[in-house]
Structure 1
């Protein structure tokens, strides 16, 4: 892409000081005429770049030039570096190279002020490779194929037009137009396997051209929930709920009134509090929690009977 080549030309000139159009053309594997067009583009953008003819001549930048003086404000530089530094969250290896180059261009050294570890996602080579493959497919508008395991454990083969990677509720998702279902779907990354990028190119769809209802088909229903969390569960209260939703009671417990998505995640989330939390309302969520707890108790009782019967036989 031309924009990448333009930044790379500036970077090379900042480090090499003087070069020739022929050398740049060979480096980028383009024609000399293309390089001269790039030089004109940079000059028109206000970059102090010039070419000297004759022996000892070449293409150069004015001494002591840094990119921020002519193109980007201080705030714009910091926003760009912030975005690139944030990419390290995904452990995208190419982001470090771009960050280093632009830090040099902006004459800034402090770029290591943020570090986020989202393990286990991206914590091994396979995860990083899969993330990069999906990202490349999105940018190049290429179809991808993969096996997908639904919430029931059923495995299906999907062909999709990848649209966006999303990090939500402690997990990565791929938003894509699923050719199998003819609608937009959200795929949880950890449930995807054998991801392959095909040679088929798709035209990015505008939202208004998508099948009716597909934009919200995966959107969960949000409901208001009232929870009572005992004092022993305080360590999770301020981590997971907004202050405006929290009321601290005289006995040290907490009352939480908030909105949560009513889907398969909700019951498992509420059960994760164990005996520290009680659903006060709505009643149908209380009933669902009670049913789940009864299933758990029944399973343990049956297992215990089998174990005891086995011991008697022995």
Structure 2
């Protein structure tokens, strides 16, 4: 218990700069005598802390020596700053101010080692950045939101939701929220959220019965085993979109083996390679690709 209180006193003084013994005694619910014993213990441990008397007296750190080589090695201090800097890269609120303070306390320079930009290229980037800022605010302030949402079939509906967290997965941002329309937790893809509005209604928590019941929907369609061959020049595209263990490099290019439900994604993926893909199996996939190309050709001929 004493060790926990010593750290809390330490951080309180880091934040306030100076405090009196009675102030600390009231803050940590101990006697003034106990506070003085704690200060003696910290001083004995090498922490540059001292007590001044008089009208403006109090307990404070020796100027210019706060935490310098007291608790952390130079490597540990750099690791702490690097970890906090990674939060800054993803726009964690007020982290830059904390980062500057700790850098000054540790007397350690900052290295500009990370930059993260989750936004897409093009005109959609500005909208998505603004949406991210608004949703982050809604999550942190626990504010109910209202928006128009387009489902996978393109049907729009007005939703009200209690936002829980932002999730970045598989090259896309999602909002995890309690949907008041369906009375359950849902994932909302950023690109399908339109006309977001932050209401003035605040909430403490989502309904307990549903808080931990969120799971991503599972595709119940039968799985197929897909075997494909690609020439060497498209290898970069394969590694961009597929897991490494699905790709086997061969003398003439690449062989890809996938086991997944037969969805439109398969056809979009295969057709994106044009003539740079050979379907080994199953044969019905090859036939459907032919039909899709013929339909597209007829469409353009007709128009």
- Output the TM-score relative to the length of structure 1: 0.69
SS in 2 for 1:69: coil
**What is aligned with 1:153?**
154
Name whichever of 294-303 and 255-264 sits farther off: 255-264
Q: Which structure 2 segments of 5+ residues have no match?
A: 1-6
Check 1:284–1:178 CA distance in 2 against 1; reply closer, same or farther (3 A cut).
farther
Which of these residues, 14, 36, 41, is aligned with residue 10 of structure 1? 14
Q: Check 1:180–1:293 CA distance in 2 against 1; reply closer, same or farther (3 A cut).
A: farther
What are the superposed Cα offsets for residues 240-280 of structure 1, whole Å, 9 maximum, x if unpaired?
44444322233x22101245576554443333223222443
CA distance in 2, matches of 1:36, 1:141: 32
Instruction: Indicate the residue corresponding to 2:108 in structure 1.
Output: 108
Partner Cα separation in structure 2 for residue 142 and residue 88 of structure 1 = 23
Alpha carbons of structure 1 residues 242 and 153: separation in structure 2 relative to 1, 3 Å: closer
User: Residues 179, 89 of structure 1: CA spacing in aligned structure 2 closer, same or farther, 3 A cutoff?
Assistant: same
Which residue of structure 2 lines up, in the alignment, with residue 164 of structure 1? 165
Query: Which stretches in structure 1 are left out of the alignment for 5+ residues?
Result: 14-18, 22-31, 304-314
Alignment of 1:22-101 (within 5 A): 37=27, 52-63=52-63, 64-66=65-67, 69-70=70-71, 80-91=80-91, 94-101=94-101
TM-score normalized by structure 2? 0.71
What does residue 216 of structure 1 align with?
Answer: 215
Q: CA deviation at 1:180?
A: 1.1
Contact 2:119 2:129 (C-alpha < 8 Å) held by counterparts: no
1:116-135 map, 5 Å: 116-120=116-120, 123-124=125-126, 126-135=127-136
Within a 5 Å distance, the mapping from 1:224-239 to structure 2 comes to: 224-239=225-240
CA distance in 2, matches of 1:286, 1:38: 73
CA RMSD of aligned residues (A): 4.2
Count residues in correspondence. Answer: 279
Secondary structure of the 1:153 match is coil
